[in-house]
Chains A and B, each alone.
Chain A
Amino acid sequence: MAIPNQTEVIKDSSMLLQKSMIADNYDELTNTQETGKKISSTFVPGNLNELVMCFDMLNNLPEINAINNGMRKKSGAMVMQAEKHGHSEDVCTYVKADIGSMSRGNIAPNGKPMPSPDLLLLSYTGCFTFMKWFELLRHEYGCETAMLHVPYEGDGIITQNMRDYVVKQIKEVVIPALERVSGVKFDIDRLRENLTNSAKAEDDFVWVLESAKNKPSPIDAYFGGVYYIGPIFTAFRGTDKAVDYYQLLRKEIEQRIAEGKGPITPEGDMKDERYRLVVEGPPNWTNFREFWKMFYEDGAVVVASTYTKVGGVYDLGFRHDPTNPIETLADYCLGCYTNRNLSQRVDMLEKYVNEYQADGLLINSIKSCNSFSAGQLLMMQEVEKRTGKPGAFIETDLVDPRYFSAANVKNRLESYFQMIEQKRQGVRSAA
């Protein structure tokens, strides 16, 4: 059997399938001049893919483009380009990577220029920056913008007033804009079919996430998790392809459990699970592999993460419901992770630490993302208090490489792992 060299990345079949899905999608997006398809730009949290597809439109997600550019080490120059044009060093680097990318020709990962969107579908869910981001994009593109304002769950509940407000906007603002731009009439049965597909994929997706309750965990729910959320958070939710992907992924994980394997990493199967962590906050993308390696080389596996709930919280029971097609879209948007208040977020983290038998909570605090970051220190204290498990805090950024200090992150992680060891020894001594 050929032994992979150090630079060769080990990938499961589901990863290869996803890679080809993404490549096909970028080809579709960059070929719209030939196909005549229209493009809607929108965001991951509150992504209305099932609805967008009803109008034969393609879904382009600027955050995902920024992530792609971050992972390909291109975002740093884009961020600085935007700063040169007057965008503050203090604001979100997704925004600046997006704007910087435009001034460099907006080249998609397939090397072709990304066409301008026909519609900016501003689904403003759980992050205030989105609102200004799309105003900035509108300023650049000058195309039609449809705004969907999703109220925040300040009291930790979705009230009927909040739901009605979102439903009305979808019916009276979003759908008419999609009809106008695409020239396609809205067909609610088509939406129901897409939603049925979504719910099927969501069932398998949740099964995969919850497989991390096994010991050893067959998945890494943060670094691996970002691959698992790929189709369901982006342009594939509601498609047959997403259903197939999650069925394949589930079979793979079932096989891993049967074989007693740990998670797949870029260097093959993780052998020894030493630490089980819950992670709060998005990952750093510019040094993603290096960051991941700091975990798996020390036997640390992430068993649950909140970032994998940013595009929808499915593991608490929500499923897209084809019998209430518009209302379910409203509930989906309202329930995304960063649209939940801090108490709800603390409750989720506490539940994850307990149910996934984690050794503690690690917070990766992201400079760019106040929606996630503001309040995280208090959240850590609360989770520590409720679970008795130690917490730790590291700081990085999304796509600005200037804010990733490998030595600092590694030092903190190593100290954290030692802290967990000491805590275990303390428990053993007490017993």
Chain B
Amino acid sequence: MSTAEIIARCKSLYDDLDFTSAREWKNADPKRKVIGYMPVYVPREIIHAAGMLPLGILGGGDQMEVIHGDAYYQSYICRIPRSTIELGLTKKLDFVDGMLFPSICDVIRNLSGMWQLMFPGTYVRYFDVPQNYQDSIGGEYYTEELRELKSGLEKLGGTTITDEALRASTAIYNENRRLINAVYDFRAKQPSKAPSVEVYLLMRAGMVLPVEEHNQVLTDYLEAAVVEERPVRDNCRIVINGAFCEQPPLNLIRSIEMAGCYIVDDDYMLINRWLLEDVTLQGDPLTNLSDAFLHFSADSAAKYCDRAEDVGQYLLSTVKKTGAEGVIFTAPSFCDPALLERPMLQDRMDEHSVPHISFKYAENSGQMQPIREQAGTFADSIKLWS
């Protein structure tokens, strides 16, 4: 299968706001349940172990007209909750049995309460994670939270989630993370062979497909991309930061690359790469997930950084590891975590002479010319002066 065929399939999944593939998965067996989740991170292993489909809900993108959703939010609130409400009210999520709202910001947190009030038949959980990373404090708390999630899903599904099932699911997600990292590594090494729009669509496919199927898609893509010849552009190499929740429109990603910037790393859909190492399969599976979260997880503005000297180090290490020449801070408008953290990250980049620019977007941003000009000027300045 060629990359074009694979990406065409991923694109059709991306465009399908009726979530047909997830509906079909559910309709194949009346016992099946679908659990939606929002950014940044939930332990999909537990959902999978319950025999349920984890479904990433990342807003409505730029193809959906938001009518009802706007009636629930003031003008100064970001777009993702509006379009998510729109998805709910237009019955595009009527097959979803449960929704998880991770701890990321006050808007998503409060959306969990709105969902409870608006869709009373749905299993709704605000998924809190610890901001204390000590095993005996945050670890114990988080392990118990995972138990509560497990118990909630067991009740919903009328099933028992065994340790064996959890270990098997963890193994599959370990494989998924390895393949995703392989795609990211491949792009960092040869960005001309893995355009960022393609990598993005591959990752989005993982939000709606069963993980086993996604693993196959990733394997197929890697095999095809390696042998495919593509023109190499005189682009600079940049890292995208701040887009971990509301997603940019595809055109924005394409515009950045067309303006002369190869994206060699990003924080879109961080859930795919949140756990940085394989989760251990021996011992208690929930404790293992908790350990991985505490000690081997990615960084984002949704996390508290315990030590001042560590702020921005994750981004800096990404820049170094991928050989990036600059950072584009691109956050959704009104995104509190990303925009509050940005000045600290910018200072860290300045300390290490890493060039950077910043702009904002919304998931339905339409005008790409200003972004193309800004990114193009940034690319030129890197090529000329860095």
Chain A contact residues, CB within 8 Å of chain B = 85-88, 90-92, 95, 122, 124, 127-129, 131-133, 135-136, 138-139, 142, 145, 147, 149, 151-152, 154-155, 159, 161-162, 164-165, 168-169, 172-173, 341-343, 345-346, 365, 367, 370-371, 373-378, 382, 395
Q: B340: which of A133, A159, A371 is its contact (CB, 8 Å)?
A: A133
With both chains docked as a complex, state the minimum distance between the C-beta of B101 and any C-beta of chain A, in angstroms: 8
**B122 near A: Cβ within 8 Å?**
no
Are the CB atoms of B339 and A91 closer together than 8 Å?
yes
* Contact A154–B126 (Cβ < 8 Å): yes
Q: Which of B112, B136, B336, B360 has the most CB of A within 10 A?
A: B336
The interface-forming segment of B127-135, B247-255, B289-297, B375-383 is B127-135
**Partner of A169 from B109, B132, B148, B342 at Cβ < 8 Å:** B132
B226 at the interface (CB under 8 A from A): no
- CB-CB nearest in chain A for B303: A131
- Min C-beta distance of B385 to chain A, whole Å: 21
Chain B, 110-151, contact with A by CB distance < 8 Å: what is the 0/1 string? 111110111000000111101110101110110011001000
Which residues from chain B contact A374 at a C-beta distance below 8 Å? 73, 77, 81, 106-107, 109-111
Complex alpha-carbon distance, A10 and B73, angstroms: 39
Q: Which of B180-188, B258-266, B304-312 contacts A (4 or more CB under 8 A)?
A: B304-312
Check if A370 sits within 8 Å of B144, measured CB to CB: no
Task: Enumerate chain B residues within 8 angstroms of A343, measured Cβ to Cβ.
Answer: 113, 116-117
Evaluate contact between B308 and A138: CB separation under 8 angstroms: yes
Q: Given contacts A139-B347, A147-B131, A377-B72, are A154 and B337 in contact (CB under 8 A)?
A: no
User: Per a CB cutoff under 8 Å, which of A159, A165, A345, A365 touches B130?
Assistant: A165
B137 x A168 contact (CB < 8 A): yes
Most buried by A among B125, B301, B304: B304
In the bound assembly, the distance between CA atoms of A331 and B116 in angstroms comes to 24
Q: Identify which of residues 300-345 in chain B touch chain A, using a CB-to-CB cut-off of 8 Å.
A: 301, 304-306, 308, 311, 333-337, 339-344
Taken residue by residue from 136 to 170, chain B's Cβ proximity to chain A (1 for < 8 Å, 0 otherwise) reads as 11101100110010000000000000000000000
A155 to B126, CA, bound (A): 7
B354 contacts across to A, CB distance below 8 A = none
The 10 A-B pairs with the shortest beta carbon distances in the complex, nearest first, are A154-B126, A342-B113, A132-B340, A165-B141, A149-B131, A88-B339, A374-B110, A370-B106, A375-B110, A371-B106
Chain A residues near B386 (CB-CB < 8 A): none
* 9 A-B contacts (beta carbon < 8 Å): A90-B335, A124-B304, A128-B336, A149-B304, A161-B148, A341-B116, A373-B77, A374-B73, A377-B74
**In the complex, how many angstroms separate the beta carbon of B79 from the nearest chain A beta carbon?**
13
Q: Could you tell me if B311 and A139 are in contact, using CB atoms closer than 8 angstroms?
A: yes
- B residues near A138, Cβ cutoff 8 Å: 308
Q: Which of B106, B114, B308, B334 has the most CB of A within 10 A?
A: B106
Q: How far, in whole Å, are A153 and B117 apart by their CA atoms in the complex?
A: 15
A149 touches B342 (CB 8 A): no
Among B125, B137, B337, point to the contact of A172 (Cβ < 8 A): B137
In the bound complex, residues from chain A placing their C-beta under 8 Å from that of B113 are 154, 341-343, 345, 375
Query: B311 contacts which of A135, A172, A370, A373 (Cβ < 8 Å)?
Result: A135
Cβ of B67 under 8 Å from chain A: no
Contact of A151 among B71, B128, B134, B137 (CB under 8 A): B128
Flag if A136 contacts B130 (CB, 8 Å).
no
Extra pairs beyond A139-B347, A374-B106 (7, CB < 8 Å): A90-B333, A128-B336, A154-B128, A341-B113, A370-B107, A374-B107, A378-B114
Given A88-B342, A155-B126, A132 and B301 contact (CB-CB distance below 8 Å)? yes
Where chain B touches its partner, the secondary structure class is: helix
CB-based contact A152/B333 at 8 Å = no
User: Which residue from A172, A173, A378 sits with its C-beta under 8 Å from B117?
Assistant: A378
A92 to B334, CA, bound (A): 10
A90 contacts B111, CB within 8 Å?
A: no
Contacts of A345 in B (CB 8 A): 113
Q: Which residues of A contact B74 (CB under 8 A)?
A: 365, 367, 373, 376-377, 395
- Would you give the shortest CB distance from A42 to chain B, in whole angstroms? 15
Q: B228 to chain A: closest CB distance in Å?
A: 41
Q: How far is it, in angstroms, between the C-alpha of A395 and the C-alpha of B340 when the chains are bound?
A: 22
Q: Pick from B116, B125, B137, B343: contact of A342, CB below 8 A.
A: B116
Shortest CB-to-CB span from A296 to chain B, Å, is 26
List, in ascending order, chain B residues with CB within 8 A of A341's CB: 112-113, 116, 126
Q: CA A95 – CA B346 in complex, angstroms? A: 18
Q: How far is the CB of A35 from chain B (nearest CB, A)?
A: 28
B68: shortest Cβ distance to chain A, in Å?
Answer: 11
Among residues of A, the one whose C-beta sits closest to the C-beta of B125 is A154
A88 to B340, CA, bound (A): 7
Q: Are A149 and B334 in contact (CB under 8 A)?
A: no
Are the C-beta atoms of A136 and B106 separated by less than 8 Å?
Answer: no
> Is the pair B110, A370 in contact by a Cβ cutoff of 8 Å?
yes
- B103 contacts partner chain A, Cβ-Cβ < 8 Å: yes
Nearest CB in chain B: distance from A325 CB, A: 19
User: Which of A95, A128, A135 is within 8 Å of B305, CB to CB?
Assistant: A135
B17 in the interface (beta carbon within 8 A)? no
- B72 near A147 with CB under 8 A, answer no
A342: B residues at CB distance < 8 A: 110, 113-114, 116-117
By a CB distance below 8 angstroms, the chain A residues around B145 are: 161
Tell me whether A136 and B77 are in contact in the complex, defined as CB-CB below 8 angstroms, given that A154-B126, A342-B114, A377-B72 are known contacts. no
Residues in A neighbouring B334, C-beta threshold 8 A: 90
Rounded to whole angstroms, the CA-CA distance of A365 and B101 in the bound complex is 23
How many Å from the CB of A365 to the closest CB on chain B? 6
Q: Is B368 an interface residue (CB 8 A)?
A: no
Chain A CB within 10 Å, residue with most, of B101, B308, B333: B308
A154-B112 in contact (CB<8A): yes
